[in-house]
Amino acid sequence: MKILGVSLFFFIFLAPFAFVTVQAFTGTYGINYGRIANNLPSPDEVVTLLKAAKIRNVRIYDADQSVLKAFSGTGLEIVVGLPNGNLRDVSADGDHAMSWVQDNVLAYLPDTCIRGIAIGNEVLGGSDQFSGFLLGAVKNVYNAVNKLKLSDVVQITTAHSQAVFANSFPPSSCVFRDNVVQYMKPLLEFFSQIGSPFCLNAYPFLAYMYDPEHIDINYALFLPTVGANDPKTKLHYDNLLDAQIDAAYAALEDAGFKKMEVIVTETGWASHGDENESAATVDNARTYNYNLRKRLAKMKGTPLRPKNVVKAYVFALFNENLKPGPTSERNFGLFKPDGSISYDIGFPGLKSSSADSLLLSLKDNRGCGWCGCYSIILTIATAFLLVFSR
């Protein structure tokens, strides 16, 4: 009876999880929750908004305690960020990296489903202020995560802008810039060893704004168009985002990392801009983000990598009124600061009349996902073993 009980315990409770490889991204659609603003909803209200929109994958650019506490028990999966300003200290001192991981990741697991740590953001390709610290920070944070037995739960990445590329069209011609290679190649070698993807911030909006004379706006917006052909690969592209992703794949292959996956960590379209940003309109933003959702829902790859399903985090959840730069920078949000939609792409807005009751039901229902059900499974499994071990 004991043997039967233990066998049943394994197949019922352990077998479903024995061969699971934890991924930082569930499905194909996620969103960036930027907070450079002074008028945003509370993190608890944001949880309500995300659950109502059925958006599970979320990235933030730091490890804010109020956000991580609000996400506890919700089943939402979050990637936290180590800001660029922290790279020097974390790169120089493994103990500092360990303390950061303990305070900002371990302290919130498993109730808050932290699935990844993004080390800096767009560090390479611009000024070299932090470039020399990136690899050291990545290694120290990974070593800390590994020592804490979290390397199969928390993925280590860093996101790159398209400034790391020397060429982007045709996609097959893309390579890393000469002044980036010295930092990029050892970084890719380490990511290849630990199984991390190449994270790309890809903006057809910016590409079109830079060269509107040679880029068809329909091509940038996923609308019907003649598209573009790559003369080397003979592949046809009917939208600019696919071409940008395949350009990254080409650069990775040229650098010797053909098998590395590309994940889009930022993409979006501004709904308002300055006079010289004529493409930043509500209609264009609605069109891009609506068609992006449809594109991702197809769960298909790109012309160059048809088996690698495209995954993307949209930028951004909210308009951020304190972001510096042109007006467009403050108008990428799918939602306004009051939680209402910026434009309709099928997501519901935040309804204050029912937000509190909905939030309470969400927080009480801790059975969503692995993080939420982990403690319940352990409790039931322990009781099961006790019964059959008598």
pLDDT for residue 2: 40
> What pLDDT is stored for residue 190 in this prediction?
98
Output the average pLDDT for the chain. Answer: 88
Domain that holds residue 133: 29-335
Would residue 164 count as lying in a domain?
yes
Q: Is 320 a catalytic residue?
A: no
CATH of the domain at 270: 3.20.20.80
Residue 353 lies in a domain: no
Residue of higher predicted confidence among 94 and 18:
94
Is residue 100 in some structural domain?
yes
Hey, how many other C-beta atoms are within 10 angstroms of the C-beta on 125?
Answer: 19
Candidates 189, 266, 275, 320; catalytic one: 266
Residue 252 counted as domain residue: yes
**How does pLDDT run across 325-343, given as a tens digit for each residue?**
999 999 999 999 999 999 9
Q: How far apart are CA 92 and CA 238, in angstroms?
A: 46
Q: Is 18 a member of any domain? A: no
Query: Residue 373: which H helix or E strand, with range?
Result: helix 369-388
Whether residue 389 is contained in a domain is answered as no
329, with CB counted inside 10 A (0-12, 13-18, 19+), is middle
Question: Picking from 1-10, 77-86, 171-180, which range would have the lowest pLDDT averaged per residue?
Answer: 1-10
Residue 313 has pLDDT above 90, yes or no: yes
Is residue 213 annotated as a catalytic residue, yes or no? no
Give the total number of structural domains in the chain: 1
Mutual orientation of helices 94-104 and 131-147 as an angle, nearest 10°? 60
> 390 pLDDT exceeds 90?
no
Over 70: is that where the pLDDT of 381 sits?
no
Overall average pLDDT of the 18-31 stretch: 69
| Per-residue pLDDT tens over the stretch 157-207 | 999 999 999 988 999 999 999 999 999 999 999 999 999 999 999 999 999
Enter the pTM of the model. Answer: 0.86
pLDDT of res. 371 = 52
Contacts 24+ apart (CB under 8 A), 62-69: 63/104, 63/105, 64/35, 66/42, 67/33, 67/35, 67/43, 68/104, 68/108, 68/112, 68/114, 69/43, 69/108, 69/112
Question: Is the pLDDT reported for residue 150 higher than 50?
Answer: yes
Residue at 349 is within a domain: no
The answer to whether residue 51 is domain-embedded is: yes
Per annotation, catalytic residue among 45, 122, 320, 329: 122
